[in-house]
Amino acid sequence: MYWEWKQNFARPGVYPGSFLVFWKMNRHHRPLQEFSMPFLKLPEKGRVLDVGCGGGFFIASMLKRAPESHFYGVDYSPLSVKKSRSFNHRAVKRGQVEIVEGSVSSLPFEDAFFDLVTASETIYFWPDPAKDVREVARVLKPGGMFAVCCDSADKAAAKKYTDHIRGMTVYSAEELSAFFSGAGFVNVECHSDSATGMLCVTGTLPEKAGAGN
Protein backbone atom coordinates (compact mmCIF):
# COMPACT_ATOMS: atom_id res chain seq x y z
CA MET A 1 0.00 0.00 0.00
CA TYR A 2 2.80 2.41 0.91
CA TRP A 3 4.59 1.56 -2.36
CA GLU A 4 1.45 2.42 -4.31
CA TRP A 5 0.98 5.68 -2.39
CA LYS A 6 4.52 6.78 -3.32
CA GLN A 7 3.54 6.73 -7.01
CA ASN A 8 1.65 9.96 -6.28
CA PHE A 9 4.99 11.78 -6.29
CA ALA A 10 5.17 11.09 -10.04
CA ARG A 11 1.57 12.09 -10.72
CA PRO A 12 -0.56 13.12 -7.73
CA GLY A 13 -4.01 11.60 -7.79
CA VAL A 14 -2.97 8.18 -9.10
CA TYR A 15 -3.57 6.58 -5.70
CA PRO A 16 -5.36 7.61 -2.48
CA GLY A 17 -3.52 9.85 -0.04
CA SER A 18 -2.59 12.59 -2.52
CA PHE A 19 -3.37 15.31 0.02
CA LEU A 20 -0.33 14.22 2.02
CA VAL A 21 1.85 14.34 -1.10
CA PHE A 22 0.95 17.98 -1.70
CA TRP A 23 1.68 18.83 1.92
CA LYS A 24 5.07 17.16 1.66
CA MET A 25 5.80 18.87 -1.69
CA ASN A 26 5.02 22.35 -0.43
CA ARG A 27 6.94 21.82 2.78
CA HIS A 28 9.94 19.73 1.82
CA HIS A 29 10.74 21.43 -1.48
CA ARG A 30 11.10 24.82 0.19
CA PRO A 31 14.83 24.50 1.04
CA LEU A 32 15.62 23.63 -2.59
CA GLN A 33 13.55 26.50 -3.91
CA GLU A 34 15.08 28.95 -1.44
CA PHE A 35 18.54 27.72 -2.47
CA SER A 36 17.69 28.20 -6.15
CA MET A 37 16.03 31.61 -5.88
CA PRO A 38 19.24 33.73 -6.03
CA PHE A 39 20.13 32.13 -9.38
CA LEU A 40 16.82 32.98 -11.07
CA LYS A 41 16.47 36.01 -13.29
CA LEU A 42 12.98 37.01 -12.18
CA PRO A 43 11.51 39.69 -14.43
CA GLU A 44 10.19 42.85 -12.79
CA LYS A 45 7.23 42.94 -15.16
CA GLY A 46 7.11 39.83 -17.27
CA ARG A 47 5.82 36.28 -17.58
CA VAL A 48 7.06 33.28 -15.62
CA LEU A 49 6.11 29.63 -16.11
CA ASP A 50 6.57 26.84 -13.55
CA VAL A 51 6.53 23.42 -15.24
CA GLY A 52 5.14 20.72 -12.99
CA CYS A 53 3.78 23.24 -10.50
CA GLY A 54 2.58 20.56 -8.07
CA GLY A 55 1.16 22.14 -4.93
CA GLY A 56 1.83 25.70 -6.09
CA PHE A 57 4.29 26.87 -3.44
CA PHE A 58 7.11 27.79 -5.85
CA ILE A 59 4.79 30.08 -7.81
CA ALA A 60 3.69 31.80 -4.60
CA SER A 61 7.29 32.23 -3.49
CA MET A 62 8.39 33.77 -6.79
CA LEU A 63 5.32 36.01 -6.84
CA LYS A 64 6.41 37.58 -3.55
CA ARG A 65 9.73 38.52 -5.14
CA ALA A 66 8.28 39.75 -8.44
CA PRO A 67 4.86 41.14 -7.52
CA GLU A 68 4.33 42.91 -10.83
CA SER A 69 4.95 39.85 -13.00
CA HIS A 70 2.39 37.38 -14.33
CA PHE A 71 2.81 33.74 -13.31
CA TYR A 72 1.68 30.56 -15.01
CA GLY A 73 1.79 26.96 -13.90
CA VAL A 74 1.35 23.78 -15.91
CA ASP A 75 0.98 20.23 -14.65
CA TYR A 76 -0.17 16.99 -16.22
CA SER A 77 -2.01 16.00 -13.04
CA PRO A 78 -5.55 17.44 -12.90
CA LEU A 79 -5.36 17.23 -9.10
CA SER A 80 -2.13 19.24 -9.07
CA VAL A 81 -3.80 21.91 -11.17
CA LYS A 82 -6.66 22.07 -8.67
CA LYS A 83 -4.37 22.20 -5.63
CA SER A 84 -2.03 24.79 -7.15
CA ARG A 85 -4.98 27.02 -8.02
CA SER A 86 -6.27 26.66 -4.47
CA PHE A 87 -2.89 27.47 -2.91
CA ASN A 88 -2.66 30.64 -5.02
CA HIS A 89 -6.38 31.41 -4.98
CA ARG A 90 -6.07 35.15 -4.29
CA ALA A 91 -3.60 35.69 -7.14
CA VAL A 92 -5.71 33.48 -9.41
CA LYS A 93 -8.81 35.53 -8.57
CA ARG A 94 -7.13 38.81 -9.47
CA GLY A 95 -5.79 37.31 -12.72
CA GLN A 96 -2.11 37.35 -11.83
CA VAL A 97 -1.66 33.57 -11.69
CA GLU A 98 -2.98 31.05 -14.22
CA ILE A 99 -2.68 27.28 -13.77
CA VAL A 100 -3.45 24.93 -16.64
CA GLU A 101 -3.32 21.23 -17.34
CA GLY A 102 -0.75 20.13 -19.91
CA SER A 103 2.43 18.25 -20.68
CA VAL A 104 5.98 19.56 -20.89
CA SER A 105 6.25 17.69 -24.18
CA SER A 106 3.61 19.94 -25.73
CA LEU A 107 3.28 23.13 -23.73
CA PRO A 108 -0.03 24.96 -24.32
CA PHE A 109 1.61 28.32 -24.92
CA GLU A 110 2.73 30.30 -27.95
CA ASP A 111 6.33 30.73 -29.06
CA ALA A 112 8.59 33.21 -27.25
CA PHE A 113 6.00 33.91 -24.54
CA PHE A 114 7.95 33.71 -21.26
CA ASP A 115 10.86 35.56 -19.69
CA LEU A 116 11.62 32.74 -17.24
CA VAL A 117 10.69 29.05 -17.03
CA THR A 118 11.35 26.96 -13.92
CA ALA A 119 11.10 23.24 -13.18
CA SER A 120 11.52 22.22 -9.55
CA GLU A 121 11.74 18.51 -8.74
CA THR A 122 9.96 17.52 -11.95
CA ILE A 123 12.49 16.71 -14.68
CA TYR A 124 12.87 13.26 -13.11
CA PHE A 125 9.54 12.34 -14.68
CA TRP A 126 9.73 14.03 -18.09
CA PRO A 127 9.07 11.63 -20.99
CA ASP A 128 12.08 12.71 -23.06
CA PRO A 129 14.19 15.40 -21.33
CA ALA A 130 16.32 16.24 -24.37
CA LYS A 131 13.23 16.95 -26.49
CA ASP A 132 11.27 18.44 -23.63
CA VAL A 133 13.96 21.03 -22.88
CA ARG A 134 13.73 22.03 -26.54
CA GLU A 135 9.98 22.51 -26.03
CA VAL A 136 10.76 24.78 -23.08
CA ALA A 137 13.12 26.75 -25.33
CA ARG A 138 10.29 27.21 -27.81
CA VAL A 139 8.12 29.13 -25.33
CA LEU A 140 10.98 31.29 -24.01
CA LYS A 141 11.80 34.73 -25.36
CA PRO A 142 15.30 35.38 -26.73
CA GLY A 143 17.43 36.11 -23.68
CA GLY A 144 14.99 34.24 -21.45
CA MET A 145 16.19 31.90 -18.70
CA PHE A 146 15.39 28.28 -17.91
CA ALA A 147 16.14 26.82 -14.46
CA VAL A 148 15.96 23.19 -13.36
CA CYS A 149 16.07 22.60 -9.60
CA CYS A 150 16.82 19.17 -8.15
CA ASP A 151 17.27 17.87 -4.63
CA SER A 152 19.93 15.50 -5.88
CA ALA A 153 21.96 14.68 -8.97
CA ASP A 154 23.57 11.67 -7.31
CA LYS A 155 22.16 8.56 -8.98
CA ALA A 156 23.43 6.17 -6.31
CA ALA A 157 22.06 8.20 -3.42
CA ALA A 158 18.73 8.58 -5.20
CA LYS A 159 18.17 4.84 -5.66
CA LYS A 160 16.03 4.80 -2.52
CA TYR A 161 13.57 6.84 -4.57
CA THR A 162 14.15 5.67 -8.13
CA ASP A 163 13.82 2.01 -7.09
CA HIS A 164 10.36 2.65 -5.68
CA ILE A 165 8.78 5.34 -7.87
CA ARG A 166 7.93 4.22 -11.38
CA GLY A 167 9.33 6.31 -14.21
CA MET A 168 11.67 8.36 -12.01
CA THR A 169 15.17 9.06 -13.34
CA VAL A 170 17.77 11.23 -11.62
CA TYR A 171 20.18 13.05 -13.94
CA SER A 172 23.70 14.18 -13.21
CA ALA A 173 24.76 17.80 -13.52
CA GLU A 174 26.60 16.86 -16.72
CA GLU A 175 23.50 15.25 -18.23
CA LEU A 176 21.33 18.22 -17.36
CA SER A 177 23.88 20.62 -18.84
CA ALA A 178 23.88 18.54 -22.03
CA PHE A 179 20.09 18.83 -22.29
CA PHE A 180 20.42 22.61 -22.02
CA SER A 181 23.22 22.89 -24.57
CA GLY A 182 21.44 20.56 -26.98
CA ALA A 183 18.39 22.82 -26.89
CA GLY A 184 20.45 25.90 -27.76
CA PHE A 185 20.87 27.41 -24.31
CA VAL A 186 24.03 29.36 -23.56
CA ASN A 187 25.69 30.50 -20.34
CA VAL A 188 24.73 27.15 -18.79
CA GLU A 189 25.72 27.06 -15.13
CA CYS A 190 25.42 24.40 -12.43
CA HIS A 191 24.91 25.82 -8.95
CA SER A 192 25.31 23.15 -6.28
CA ASP A 193 25.41 22.79 -2.52
CA SER A 194 27.96 20.19 -1.52
CA ALA A 195 26.46 19.80 1.96
CA THR A 196 22.95 18.91 0.80
CA GLY A 197 23.42 17.80 -2.81
CA MET A 198 20.92 20.39 -4.05
CA LEU A 199 21.43 21.55 -7.63
CA CYS A 200 20.10 24.38 -9.77
CA VAL A 201 21.04 24.38 -13.46
CA THR A 202 20.39 27.59 -15.37
CA GLY A 203 20.80 28.66 -18.97
CA THR A 204 19.63 31.46 -21.24
CA LEU A 205 18.56 31.58 -24.85
CA PRO A 206 20.74 33.70 -27.11
CA GLU A 207 19.46 37.16 -27.93
CA LYS A 208 18.24 37.69 -31.48
CA ALA A 209 21.01 38.40 -33.93
CA GLY A 210 21.31 42.12 -34.56
CA ALA A 211 19.26 43.06 -31.51
CA GLY A 212 19.93 46.61 -30.47
CA ASN A 213 21.52 47.57 -33.78
Please, which pLDDT band fits residue 204 given cuts at 50, 70 and 90?
very high
Comparing 5-19, 55-69, 74-88, 185-199, the range with the smallest average pLDDT is 5-19
Q: What is the pLDDT of residue 77?
A: 87
Question: What does the domain layout of the chain look like in residue ranges?
Answer: 1-30, 97-204
- pLDDT, one tens digit per residue, over 158-167 is 676 666 676 7
Q: Does domain 97-204 match CATH 1.20.210.10?
A: no
- pLDDT, one tens digit per residue, over 124-139 is 999 999 999 999 999 9
CA dihedral 116, 117, 118, 119 (to 10 degrees): -170
What's the predicted TM-score (pTM) here?
0.85
Q: How far apart are CA 153 and CA 95, in angstroms?
A: 36
Please, which pLDDT band fits residue 102 given cuts at 50, 70 and 90?
very high
Please report which residue ranges of the chain form alpha helices under DSSP H.
2-6, 18-28, 30-36, 57-65, 78-87, 89-93, 129-139, 159-162, 173-182
Mean pLDDT, residues 12-35 taken together = 64
User: Is 29's pLDDT higher than 90?
Assistant: no
- pLDDT, one tens digit per residue, over 7-18 is 444 555 555 555
Q: What is the pLDDT of residue 27?
A: 57
Comparing 90-104, 112-126, 161-175, the range with the smallest average pLDDT is 161-175
Radius of gyration (C-alpha) of the chain in whole angstroms: 16
The whole-chain average pLDDT of the chain stands at 86
CA dihedral 130, 39, 113, 204 (to 10 degrees): -60
How many angstroms separate the first and last alpha carbons of the chain? 62
Q: How far apart are CA 49 and CA 52, in angstroms?
A: 9
Q: What is the pLDDT of residue 80?
A: 87
User: Is 174's pLDDT higher than 70?
Assistant: yes
User: Is 100's pLDDT higher than 50?
Assistant: yes
Residue 156 amino acid letter: A
Q: What is the pLDDT of residue 155?
A: 78
pLDDT above 90: percentage of residues in the chain: 66
